[in-house]
Amino acid sequence: MVGNFLFVYLCLVLFFVLSLTLVSLIPGTKIKENIASSALTLKEQGDRPRILGNHKLNQLDNLTESVMLGIIYNIDEHQPLKSALKAMFYAGSNSNEENYRVNSLYDQIQYAFRPNNQYPRYWHGYIVAIRPMLTFMPYSSVQKTLQIAFLIFFGYLVALFSKKLSMLAALSFAISIVLVNISIIPVTVHASMVFFICFSAIALFLKTKDMSTEKYIIAFFIIGALTSFVDLLTAPFITFGFPAIVLLISRNTVETRNSFKSVFSFVVYIGLSWMIGYALLWGTKWVLASIMLKENVIAEGINGILERIGRDIPFGNIQHINSFDAIKKNLQTFYTFTISNYPISFVVIPLMIFYGFFAVIWHKKKYRLDTTIIIALIGLLPFFWFGVAANHSFIHAYFTSRILSVSVFAFSYVLIDIVDWNQIKKAYTALKSKMSSNRKSLIGMFFIKHKEILL
C-alpha cells in the first residue's frame, strides 16, 4: 500500500505543478480586460455585500474574491510556475479603510500599481478552473456559469440519492445543502470549488460498486489532496464529511452490516487518509515554494496555522476567546440564517422533533446501531473543527459555519434510518381504513334516521 500511496502522491504533485504552469502560460491580455471590467462592480458592492437578506450567510465574500482575482491578474506568463507559486497581488496602504480589498484591486487596475503582497502558503488551485474562463468572460459571467453548473450537479445528486439509496436520504441531503444558502455558495468561487470536489466524491461513491478498503483509503487521500489544492480554509471538512457519510449509508444494508469495531476502524482509516492527503500536499506547496522562490514559506505556513488555531482575535484591542466561543458563534450564524425572513431554525428544529417523535414511537425493533452511531459521530466533528481552529472559525463564521451542513445531513439521516417506515405505512393504512369505515357508518346512520324525510 505504501508504494501505491507514493505513486499517487507523486502523480498529484506533478498534476498540480503542470496544471498551474499550463494555465499560467495563457496570455493575460483578455484576462486582465475581463477582470478590469469586473473590478468596478466589486468596488460598488464592497468587501462583504449581503444579498437576498441581511444575514451573514447571505454575504458574498468579495474580500477574498478580490485577492483571488488580484493573484490571477498578476500572473506573469513569462514566469508561469514561479508567479503561480508566489501568488502576488496588490494591497493598498490603508488596511483599516472600508472595503479595503475591493478598493485595492480597483486601484491597481486603475492606476497600474505593481503587486506588493503575496500569498504563497496556498496552492490556489482555483486558478486552473477560473483563469481559462476569464479568457472568455468577465467575473460576473464566471459566477453565473458556476451557479448553473452547481445547481445542475446538485439536482443530479438528489436524483442519484433517490435512485441508489432512498427518497428520504435524498431529502436529508437536499435539506443539508439548501440550509447553508444554495444561492450564495456557487457565486462564491473559493466556496464552490470545495463543494464541487465534495459533489464529485459523492457521485463517485454512489456510482461505483463496492471497492476494496485499500481503494477507499486511497480515494480519500486524493480527495484530501484535491481539497488542499483549491481550498483557502473555507470549509474543507465538507469534502470528508459528506462522502464518508454517503459511503457508510451505501454500505449499511442488511447484507453488509458490520460490527461497530470494523466500521469505526474503516472510518478512522479513511479519515486519517483524508487528513494526510490534505496536510501532506499543503506542506508540499510550502517546500516547493520555498525552493523555487528562495523564501521561507515553510515558516510562513506554520505561523499561519498557529494563528488560525490560536485564541486571540487581533482586531483593535486583542480579544481572547475559547473554543466554545467559536462553536457558539458558528451555531448562531447557522441557525439564525433566514429564508424569506424566517430563521431556518423554524424549519430544522420542528423537523428534528417530528423525526424524533417518529423514531421513538415507530423505531425499528431489530436494529443495529453500529453504523448509525458512527454517522452521528461524524456529524459531531464540525464542532471539534470549530474548537481546534477557534481563531479562524470565530472570525470567518459566515463561511466556516457551512460545515454544519454535515451535521444536519448526519443527524437527519440517523433519525430517518431508525424509524420503521413500514410500521408507519401500516398505521396510516389502518387509520385510513378506520376513518373510511366510520364515515360509511355515519352515512348509514344518517340515512336510517332521516329516511322518511329523504323518501
Residue-level pLDDT at 455? 47
Choice between 15 and 425, residue whose per-residue pLDDT is larger: 15
pLDDT tens column, 305-335: 888 888 877 765 657 888 888 898 888 887 7
Between 51-55, 153-157, 174-178, 352-356, the lowest mean confidence (pLDDT) is in 51-55
pLDDT tens column, 176-190: 888 877 778 888 888
Residue-level pLDDT at 296? 94
Where in the chain are the domains? 2-418, 422-454
pLDDT tens column, 193-204: 999 999 999 999
**Most confidently predicted of 16-20, 101-105, 397-401:** 16-20
pLDDT band for 44, please (50, 70, 90 cuts). confident
pLDDT band for 454, please (50, 70, 90 cuts). very low
Residue-level pLDDT at 343? 57
- Can you tell me which residue has the cell 508540499? 284
Choice between 256 and 285, residue whose per-residue pLDDT is larger: 285
Choice between 178 and 341, residue whose per-residue pLDDT is larger: 178
The per-residue pLDDT of the chain, averaged, comes to 84
pLDDT band for 50, please (50, 70, 90 cuts). confident
Q: Specify the pTM.
A: 0.87
pLDDT tens column, 215-248: 999 999 999 999 999 998 888 999 999 999 999 9
Between 60-69, 130-139, 331-340, 396-405, the lowest mean confidence (pLDDT) is in 331-340
Residue-level pLDDT at 399? 82
Answer yes or no: is pLDDT of 253 > 70: no
Answer yes or no: is pLDDT of 340 > 50: no
Answer yes or no: is pLDDT of 15 > 90: yes
pLDDT band for 129, please (50, 70, 90 cuts). very high
